[in-house]
Chain A
Amino acid sequence: MGRKKKKQMKPWCWYCNRDFDDEKILIQHQKAKHFKCHICHKKLYTGPGLAIHCMQVHKETIDGVPNAIPGRTDIELEIYGMEGIPEKDMEERRRVLEQKNQETQKKKQNQDDSDEYDDEDEPGPSFQQPAAGQPQAGYIPSMSQPGMPPGSGAPGIPPGSYSGHSPYRMIPMGGMLPPGPGMPPMMAGVPPGMPPPVAHRPGITHMAQVPPAANMLTRPAVPAATVPSAQPDVTKPLFPIAGQSQQTVSGSPHPPPSTSSDPSKPTFPAYTQATVAVVSPNSGSSTVSKPPSTVTSKPATLTTSSATSKLIHPDEDISLEELRAQLPRYQRSVPRQAQSTATAPSMGPVGGMISPQQPGMRHPLPGQYGGPPQGMPGYMPGGMPPYGQAPPVVPPGFQGAPPRPPMGMRPPVMSPGGRY
């Protein structure tokens, strides 16, 4: 981009918020997506241009820019590429980009090897990322707010406090970050109940009252490499009180002080990783999926951001098959595990379910799964006797097998007659 002033950021489309490498491409995009006549497909150059074309040539009015996100559909704004974008939207965009940058920095600093941990690290390290990534100055303010609520503040404070302390602090911080998951917890551990370490080194002296903090401070400083290993040592002794809670908590995923879910994770280093594993399925999808997974019951209400659109899907966030399988009409035969298998297979001769015991068995499983099955393999290779055997647990070597063709039940050999 030649001009310095105009766009320090990459060109983006005001109508739909997409980013582009080049302004030329941006303009092509706008012409194709936003300034294209839906009647004759002629590509115009601007929004007003399109409106005028539709009026003059097709005698039609359009009320908004096609494919624009809500709020950005103004047909009268003359925007061409990056020109004409209202100043406040530009600023808003810059702000959003900055936030995103911060997040990606945090993310990068916490890249773990295993994919699973990627997203779980986000909430954890996130608060320290800014600490590491940004100039210490940025953290001084955070440090100066001891009163910050443990929830989000806590995570922020300790790291902030570190980085704020002294320049070289940053380095160890950075060094520690790769161990990442280990770190945040440690620091996060400090705040709960502790007056934020604050201050500098000198603060360390009166850290006596917050010994944990002090330890944390010193430790990380020394051998960054040992941080992860130090963690277990650090956390336990560090927090005689908190330590206990931590230790006890290490098994359980509940964060003592903080209320908010994500930020609190880092406060419990010991089991952050444990919780990580627990939470992974959802947080794995984290940012992106938060809407769908948390809004468990409403995938259909997720409308796409472009011109209003509608998902043709029931509201429940379960698959169509699961929804359908819940219906009573499809549940009729489900409860019959053992017996049914015996009868069902040989459609031909037997002709349908012989259900000697079935009627009794019918506890309707409301949900599809989760049930009664107790792992009854119910291997009834042979038809008749198995019934009786069905209920008993785990028929050894699935009854019937021996008499039958032992080799993997090769039915071919068996006489066809309604065996199963």
Chain B
Amino acid sequence: MSLFGTNAGFGTGGTGVFGNATTDSHNPMKDVEVTSPPDDSISCLAFSPPTMPGNFLIGGSWANDVRCWEVQDNGQTVPKAQQMHTGPVLDACWSDDGSKVFTASCDKTAKMWDLNSNQAMQIAQHDGPIKAIHWIKAPNYSCIMTGSWDKTLKFWDTRSPNPMMSLQMPERCYCADVVYPMAVVATAERGLIVYQLENQPSEFRRIDSPLKHQHRCVAIFKDKQNKPTGFALGSIEGRVAIHYINPPNPAKDNFTFKCHRSNGTNTTTPQDIYAVNAISFHPVHGTLATVGSDGRFSFWDKDARTKLKTSEQLDQPITACCFNHNGNIFAYASSYDWSKGHEYYNPQKKNYIFLRNAAEELKPRNKK
């Protein structure tokens, strides 16, 4: 097993709170705390695909590392391995067979980490930090897609130093999601582009943003036939847009909803509006989770257009979230996201990753 050197509590399993018995607002939901969390803000979380037995969680952080934990059925988390970049890790993803983890970093490179050998090698290079990385598995090809602040979207066969394809984007890539055969990229200046991945990746459509503020996160959802049919887009203005690619009635089917805002119903106090940091869809129920700078997570049913649950407020923003392959576990990371600027950054403050049982809470509400 490996060296997550800096953090104590290596083997303590991490069930329950780490000894902080007082109602510490760092874990008001009393969820399972992952052991040996990273030393700086967590930028991304991803669970292993169903092809692998068990649940493995990877998390990339601003401490330049990406860590892997095994999540056991009894809730215990065991740190397994770690890899480093030379710059903060911004995104990470798994290959479809679960044997490799791909990581993207501010150091403008992306790496492929073979978990069996615990070796990582560079597989991509950009002219700017790589913000999004996704594995694409098509019937006739497999590759890695990287979106960067250098305004390009590149596709890499991991065996070659040169990209298979490089597509120019109007602006810097801020977030992306891939569900074959669809890929969505949201860029700076509210750009929104949908790509189709059949045969080879190509731009499918540029969409006028349904949101009026900076794009922050995007997640594709599927229809009842398990085909990608639309996406949820979150912005810095506490709002998520649900957008279908080809809806029968766009005006009615597409909508936006507000979230991650402080209660400003009182006329006098201004309402605080927080950024939506990440969106994840439950793999089974199709309901979604959003996490925000306000330190809360919420579950929503987009078909019934209702909110299912909102958590208590954590003392730090929640920066990343993900579901495991069967939707039983919801992981979310509590760390500073810079939403209040550098003044509020405290390098000493501990960062957390929590695991929550998600089997029940994300069941869709029956539409009335």
Contacts and interface: CB of A to CB of B under 8 A. Distances in A.
Interface of A: 38, 62-67, 73, 115-116, 118-119, 280-282, 284-285, 288-289, 291-293, 299, 302-304, 306-314, 317-325, 327, 330-331, 333-334, 336-337, 340-341, 344-348, 352-353, 368-371, 373, 375-381, 394-395, 397-398, 407-414, 416, 419-420
- Interface size range on B against A: 35 or more
Contact of A330 (B87, B189, B267): B87
Contacts of A310: 270-273
B214 A317 contact: yes
A63 B267 contact: yes
Interface in B152-174: 157-162, 170-172, 174
A280 B265 CA distance: 38
Given A312-B294, A353-B86, A411-B121, 12 more contacts: A67-B265, A115-B206, A284-B191, A299-B236, A302-B237, A311-B213, A312-B340, A333-B87, A336-B107, A341-B107, A344-B84, A353-B84
A337 B109 contact: yes
B190 interface: yes
B108 A289 contact: no
A411 B148 contact: no
Given A312-B294, A345-B120, A281 B171 contact: yes
B124 to A, nearest CB: 8
A118 B162 contact: no
A327 B126 CA distance: 20
Given A341-B109, A345-B83, A419-B119, A288 B212 contact: yes
Interface in B55-97: 62, 64-65, 82-88, 90
Contacts of A408: 157-159
A347 B270 contact: no
B264 to A, nearest CB: 6
B306 interface: no
Contact of A38 (B116, B213, B267): B267
B88 A311 contact: no
Contacts of B158: 408-409
Given A38-B266, A309-B264, A333-B87, A379 B122 contact: yes
B236 A311 contact: yes
B48 to A, nearest CB: 17
A344 B267 contact: no
Interface string B122-158: 1101111101000000000000000011100000011
Q: Which of A345, A373, A414, A416 has the most CB of B within 10 A?
A: A345
Given A309-B271, A411-B114, A411-B119, A293 B189 contact: yes
B274 interface: yes
